[in-house]
Amino acid sequence: MDKADERSLERMLVAAIEGDERAYFAFLEAVAKLVRTWLRRKVTYGSLDVEDVVQETLLAIHLKRHTWRSDEPVRPWIFAIANHKLIDAFRRHGRQPLADSPALEEVEAEEPEVLQSWEIDRALQVLTPGQRSVVTAVSIEGSSIQETARDLGMKETAVRVALHRGLAAIARRFGRT
């Protein structure tokens, strides 16, 4: 990534902070790619799933985006957050050393149906039912705020509040469930 890409990332984030959802979507996609590539170089062995750390980093960037100052470069900020979350993930995994993890057969026996079980899905389970249905509708089903409000019989502001609180709760519980 060169200077021009860095500038375009910064422009996207500035637009996002001013409320441009599409710019924010593009920004987060670019950040996910950037962080995923960086993590794959850093995490070369062990049981840590890179995608978990990507997701946790995206959540942290979202909830802490008011800590970025538009007059400073965005990449050091992104990677400081990613590094913080990577260290956190290493620390958690350190508590469950590989030797103690169950044998492969047991894992398969416990989770026969689930193809991929990510940390975020476990964190999703601790939300209130209302928050969970809003977060699921907006993420997995890809509904808009308006569609979600109509489908769930809620006010739009209530949907926004539930979404925001739900995401904050996921970030708090991430990897700790």
Which of these, 105, 120, 104, lies nearest to 173 by C-alpha position? 120
Q: Tell me how many residues contact another protein (CB under 8 A).
A: 48
Which pairs from 9-14 meet CB under 8 Å and 24+ separation?
9/74, 9/75, 10/70, 10/73, 10/74, 13/65, 13/68, 13/70, 13/74, 14/70
| 42: CB partners within 8 A, 6+ apart | 86
Tell me the residue length of the chain.
Answer: 177
Which of these, 100, 97, 113, lies nearest to 48 by C-alpha position? 97
Q: Per CB under 8 A, which of residues 39..78 are in contact with another protein?
A: 51, 54-55, 58-60, 62-69, 72, 76-77
Q: How far is the CB of 88 from another protein (least distance, A)?
A: 9
118: contact with another protein by CB under 8 A: yes
Q: How far is the CB of 98 from another protein (least distance, A)?
A: 25
Residue closer to another protein, measured from CB, 84 or 93? 84
Asked if 7 and 73 touch (Cβ cutoff 8 Å), the reply is: no
**From 11, 43, 84, 90, residue interacting with another protein (rule: CB under 8 A):** 84
Residue closer to another protein, measured from CB, 5 or 106? 5
Residue closer to another protein, measured from CB, 26 or 93? 26
Whole-angstrom distance, CA of residue 86 vs CA of residue 41: 12
5: contact with another protein by CB under 8 A: no
Q: Per CB under 8 A, which of residues 15..44 are in contact with another protein?
A: 16-17, 19-22, 24-25, 28-29, 32
Name residue, tokens 């995608």. Answer: 51
Asked if 23 and 16 touch (Cβ cutoff 8 Å), the reply is: yes
Contacts to another protein by CB under 8 A: 16-17, 19-22, 24-25, 28-29, 32, 51, 54-55, 58-60, 62-69, 72, 76-77, 79-81, 83-84, 118, 120-121, 124, 135, 138-140, 142, 144-145, 160, 163-164, 167
